[in-house]
Structure 1
Amino acid sequence: MKQPHYVVANHGAIVNIASRTTARLDLALKRLPSGTLSQNIDVRSASEVENFFDSQPPWDHVILTGSSTQVGSVKNLPLDQAHDGMQSKFWGAYYVGRNAKINKGGSLTFVSGVYAQRPNINAVLQGALNATVEGLMRGLALELAPQGIRVNAVSPSTTHTPLWDRLGEEGREIKFASMREKLPTAQIVAPDDIAHAILYLATNPSATGSTVLVDCGDALV
């Protein structure tokens, strides 16, 4: 499965990917075109994010796709996990929005999630975090507009990525089968689908303050 940076690279962009996990960077670089750059960054750290953007020339487009959050109800999710999820998903986006230097005509795109539109009793924090990211996006769209910078979000549902390998092959297929039965499109979101939505937002000069749903109709059901 291709990741967003792969699709963007294939459209002629010079791509710099970042993660706090070196192994993930190394695996991604094996799939990406030569010339792709990489950097270890933990977006939970305000200083790391600030130092990274201070060391780089301005960007045309910045995309924040990843975060680390745990599922669970408000009553049952341990507070340390809840705090870490907030640090990763919301504050990571906040730090990037605060520090990213973007050229006029460029864009910043966040990835939120369908639980912002359709809360789930077993992922209450994730829904709240996705909603806060979208609220941050809309505010930044106004704040950065005078600089000629657009800000948007892509909101996916369950996506066919290695994340679900933790369930084992049988568990993963059971999960995907149940989602296909439920969703109006009867399919699972592919990483390419998210990538093309990000590319659309990055290249469409009329798109700002927008949340694009890439969820196979999950928000409807």
Structure 2
Amino acid sequence: MDLQGKTVLVLGGSSGIGFGVAHAVQALGASVTIASRSAEHVDAARARLGGTAKGTTLDTGDATALERFFAEQAPFDHVFCSAARTKVAAVRELPLQDAYASFDSKFWGAYRLARAAKIADRGSLTLTSGFLSIRPRAGAAIQGAINAGLEGLTRGLALEFAPVRVNCVSPGLIMTEMYQTLDGDRRRAMFDGAAQKLPVGQIGTPEHVATQAVAFMTNPYMTGTTVYVDGGGAIA
């Protein structure tokens, strides 16, 4: 797992899974660029990463901005995307505009990125879905549908983009900043309860997902593949 001299772009790299991937690839010698909608968050993430990390403000919802950004860059060796904003609720409770916006952010955001990205031959594009694609849950049909769509998109892109490799990492419950809105006791109770239901007996971290993202980048024999990093959540 050597990324010395490689260039890696991480969309959604200012926090959570994306930041975990950025940290991992930089530790392996890559020149990493993190991208996020918020310039403030990008600057804070760069300060945390240190070293030669670069940053840019970029929104996967803006096709024109994506095309302009890649037109000004040399091809990246690897691109990772975890950028998305979604809302989850039962179908009859989630306003249609929120359902449309969720698909637009996570599915169409990845589609727009794939369409615009310049990736070196034998490089890779990694998308992020989620295990609800194969383990549906009442009240989260929209999220399962989006994730399943991303996994289907991954397989089609792997054929279209060859020799660039396209894969998808599908996380389960991951301990990230998005849960900081819960008070400490509620958050701890939720994580403890979820961990007890998983075969591995613990909750995932961004580092766990980053391990698989690095494997996709460095293994030249993987494309069109979705790997579930979910602690056994899909079978529990």
Identify the TM-score tier after normalising by the shorter chain.
over 0.9
Residue in 1 that maps onto 2:90? 73
Select 1:28's aligned residue among 32, 45, 53: 45
- What are the within-5 Å matches in structure 2 for residues 114-125 of structure 1? 114-125=131-142
Task: Please state how far the C-alpha of 1:34 moved relative to its aligned partner.
Answer: 1.9
Q: CA RMSD in A?
A: 1.1
- What are the within-5 Å matches in structure 2 for residues 57-72 of structure 1? 57-72=74-89
Task: Please state how far the C-alpha of 1:215 moved relative to its aligned partner.
Answer: 0.3
> In 1, are the aligned partners of 2:60 and 2:83 still within 8 Å (CA)?
no
Task: Please state how far the C-alpha of 1:27 moved relative to its aligned partner.
Answer: 2.2
Q: Secondary structure at the match of 1:130?
A: helix
Task: Please state how far the C-alpha of 1:204 moved relative to its aligned partner.
Answer: 0.2
Q: Distance in 2 between matches of 1:202 and 1:64?
A: 13
Q: Secondary structure at the match of 2:200?
A: coil
The letter for the 1-side match of 2:167 is N
- What are the within-5 Å matches in structure 2 for residues 45-64 of structure 1? 45-64=62-81
Task: Please state how far the C-alpha of 1:169 moved relative to its aligned partner.
Answer: 1.0
Residue in 2 that maps onto 1:38? 55
Q: Distance in 2 between matches of 1:54 and 1:194?
A: 30
Task: Please state how far the C-alpha of 1:23 moved relative to its aligned partner.
Answer: 2.6
Residue in 1 that maps onto 2:169? 154
Q: Distance in 1 between matches of 2:133 and 2:40?
A: 30
The letter for the 1-side match of 2:155 is R
The letter for the 1-side match of 2:89 is G
Task: Please state how far the C-alpha of 1:66 moved relative to its aligned partner.
Answer: 2.2
Q: Which digits, 9 at most, give the CA deviation of each residue in 1:152-203, with x for residues without a partner? A: 0000011011111111211111110111111111100111010010000111
The letter for the 2-side match of 1:186 is G
Residue in 2 that maps onto 1:201? 216
Give the alignment's TM-score, normalised by structure 1: 0.96
Q: Distance in 2 between matches of 1:73 and 1:23?
A: 33
- What are the within-5 Å matches in structure 2 for residues 84-99 of structure 1? 84-99=101-116
> In 2, are the aligned partners of 1:71 and 1:122 still within 8 Å (CA)?
yes
> In 1, are the aligned partners of 2:195 and 2:201 still within 8 Å (CA)?
yes
Q: Distance in 1 between matches of 2:223 and 2:33?
A: 23
The letter for the 2-side match of 1:68 is R
Give the alignment's TM-score, normalised by structure 2: 0.90
Q: Secondary structure at the match of 2:125?
A: strand
1:110 is the counterpart of 2:130 = no
Query: Number of residues paired by the alignment?
Result: 219
Identify, as 1 or 2, the structure richer in helix.
1
Select 1:12's aligned residue among 22, 29, 44: 29
